[in-house]
């Protein structure tokens, strides 16, 4: 065992210990979380994967009211974390992690609530974790970290995790989808109703109410497998930079998100990377290249992206140093398993009197999944979608002892509960959107997710 500081213990594990193996060993642990970037090999965000479970403390907020501070307890936890050298530690090696559902927005803005459905999730569910297993995909190492916290027993945790890891053999690989039996699913909209909803958004745009709103349809299907089985399929068939899993007794969230919400590095450097603009991947390389060129040249998609960039610049400016907010990348093509996207990058530096939780409050939910202006767009989304989004368009997040924070936007995301799974798909509607094409775009986004369910 190696000590990286007096209160953070690090231990080298076998380098060939896979994410699949460890995930199955700890699959029945309470409050299991996995943040997994291995599937995005070659990308800047592909260095680490983290697994943790069984927090020493938990925070749950089911119903938010405007003006309350649901993140207060997380701020208190952060003050108890041991300090760590960012040069030695990964971004997360234990610390604070959890789920911010879309309904957390009610704590930050006065909004009418949507009707909950059977896939509702807590507005906030977070844990204070005293351990993590970390894969460094650049160095090809696997490490176990255990933190000494005021409410933890590090030696006992170390023995517990070691005991479990002795059970890690070859991973049991789930059967892959055959493609011959497409899973039947239902939507919260039929095709005609979705086209009408898109037209209603266009009417609001024409009336000057908004510039853009992100509309979605919620797809649901039966799923009799485990969350870990589904995650294994997602990891193999719909790879993305911000794959993740949260599993608790009531529900599970399985995500193949391509999108970062917020990242904060030690020293307060903030980054957000909104996605707007989508094309389906093509089988032939030349056709795929043509689709990318057409997307990059699309005035409609670029306008949609730039609107959200402006919104996010405004959001992070509320807590960042004057003059520090900059756009460092605009409408860059990024290619994923089943789609291509336009991605932009906005950065800034936190003010000395603001912290990461103030940043979350200023920016949540992400502008790329709401629209502009944000508050009016959210009101219209509630009117048209009617049901609560739950985890969808929320965020999985983690913060470690070095002070580094990272989080995803929960798109391309499944919520599992009681033998059912829901997986909403949507897109941004702007003035020159064509309802039929918007509907088809949601199907393109659903394609990779349906592959994971097909059996």
pLDDT digit string, tens, across residues 132-144: 999 999 899 999 9
Contact yes or no for 89/391 (Cβ under 8 A): no
* E strands in 19-176: 32-36, 48-52, 57-61, 95-100, 124-129, 131-136, 141-147
Q: Is the pLDDT of residue 178 over 70?
A: no
More confident residue, 173 or 404: 404
Mark whether 276 is an active-site residue: yes
Q: Is the pLDDT of residue 411 over 60?
A: yes
Most confident stretch, 82-96, 229-243, 254-268, 329-343? 254-268
pLDDT band at 172 (very low <50, low <70, confident <90, very high): low
pTM of the entire predicted model: 0.94
Position 441 pLDDT exceeds 50: yes
Per-residue pLDDT tens over the stretch 182-209 = 788 999 999 999 999 999 999 999 999 9
pLDDT at 176: 52
**Of the listed ranges 71-75, 79-83, 278-282, 317-321, the one predicted with least confidence:** 278-282
Annotated catalytic residue, options 218, 247, 263, 276: 276
In this prediction, what percent of the chain has a pLDDT beyond 90?
79
Given a cut of 60, whether residue 173 has pLDDT beyond it is: no
| Domain spans of the chain, in order of start | 2-453
* Per-residue CA distances from 218 to 115, 182, 382, 448 (Å): 14, 18, 13, 15
Decide if pLDDT at 45 tops 90.
no
Q: Which residues contact 447 (CB under 8 A, 6 or more apart)?
A: 280, 338
Position with higher pLDDT, 85 vs 212: 212
Helices 299-317/356-363 angle, 10° precision: 130
The active-site residue, picked from 259, 337, 404, 441, is 259
User: Any idea how long the chain is?
Assistant: 455
Active site residue 65: no
Angstrom distance (rounded) from CA 243 to CA 245: 7
Sign of CA pseudo-dihedral 151, 157, 160, 166: positive
Annotate 124-139 with b (16+ C-beta within 10 A) or e (fewer): bbbbbbbbbbbbebee
pLDDT digits (tens, 9 = 90+) for 358-381: 999 999 999 999 999 999 999 999
Residue 87 has pLDDT above 80, yes or no: no
Q: Report the topology of domain 2-453.
A: Anthranilate synthase (3.60.120)
pLDDT at 454: 83
Give which of 438, 240, 255 is closest to 343, Cα–Cα.
Answer: 240
Q: What is the pLDDT of residues 33-43, one digit of tens each?
A: 999 986 554 45
Residue 1 pLDDT class (50, 70, 90 cuts): very low
Using the predicted structure, report yes or no on whether residue 175 has a pLDDT greater than 80: no
271-318 pLDDT, tens digit each = 999 999 888 888 889 999 999 999 999 998 999 999 999 999 999 999
Q: How confident is the model at residue 422 (pLDDT cuts 50, 70, 90)?
A: very high
pLDDT above 90 for 388: yes
Q: Is the pLDDT of residue 74 over 80?
A: yes
């Amino acid at each position: 065992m190696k000590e990286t500081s007096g209160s953070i213990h690090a231990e080298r594990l076998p380098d060939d210990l896979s994410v699949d193996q460890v995930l199955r060993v700890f699959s029945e642990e309470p409050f299991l979380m996995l943040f997994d970037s291995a599937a995005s090999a070659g990308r800047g965000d592909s260095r680490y994967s983290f697994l943790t479970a069984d927090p020493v403390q938990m925070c749950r907020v089911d119903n938010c009211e405007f003006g309350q501070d649901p993140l207060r307890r997380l701020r208190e936890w952060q003050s108890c974390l041991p300090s760590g050298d960012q040069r030695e530690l990964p971004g997360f090696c234990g610390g604070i992690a959890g789920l911010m559902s879309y309904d957390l927005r009610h704590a930050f803005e006065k909004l009418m609530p949507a009707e909950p459905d059977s896939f509702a999730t807590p507005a906030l569910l977070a844990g204070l974790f005293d351990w993590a297993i970390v894969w460094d995909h650049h160095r090809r190492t696997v490490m176990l970290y255990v933190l000494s916290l005021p409410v933890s027993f590090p030696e006992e945790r170390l023995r517990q995790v070691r005991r479990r890891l002795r059970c890690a053999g070859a991973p049991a690989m789930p059967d892959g989808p055959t493609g011959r039996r497409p899973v039947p699913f239902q939507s919260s909209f039929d095709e005609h109703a979705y086209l009408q909803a898109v037209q209603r958004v266009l009417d609001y745009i024409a009336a000057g109410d908004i510039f853009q709103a992100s509309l979605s349809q919620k797809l649901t299907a039966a799923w009799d497998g485990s969350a870990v089985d589904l995650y294994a399929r997602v990891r193999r068939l719909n790879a993305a930079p911000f794959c993740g899993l949260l599993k608790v007794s009531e529900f599970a969230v399985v995500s193949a998100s391509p999108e970062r919400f917020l990242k904060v590095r030690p020293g307060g450097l903030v980054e957000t990377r909104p996605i707007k603009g989508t094309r389906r991947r093509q089988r032939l390389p030349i056709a795929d290249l043509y689709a990318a060129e057409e997307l990059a040249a699309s005035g409609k998609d670029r306008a949609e992206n730039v609107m959200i960039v402006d919104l996010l610049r405004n959001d992070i400016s509320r807590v960042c140093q004057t003059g520090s907010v900059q756009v460092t990348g605009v409408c860059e093509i990024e290619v994923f398993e089943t789609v291509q996207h336009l991605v932009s990058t906005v950065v800034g530096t936190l003010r000395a009197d603001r912290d990461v939780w103030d940043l979350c409050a200023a920016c949540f939910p992400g502008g790329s999944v709401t629209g502009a202006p944000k508050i009016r767009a959210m009101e219209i989304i509630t009117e048209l979608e009617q049901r609560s989004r739950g985890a969808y368009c929320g965020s999985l997040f983690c913060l470690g002892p070095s002070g580094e924070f990272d989080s995803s936007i929960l798109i391309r995301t499944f919520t599992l509960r009681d033998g059912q799974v829901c997986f909403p798909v949507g897109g941004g509607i702007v003035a020159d959107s064509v309802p039929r094409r918007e509907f088809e775009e949601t199907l393109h986004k659903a394609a990779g997710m349906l592959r994971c369910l097909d059996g």
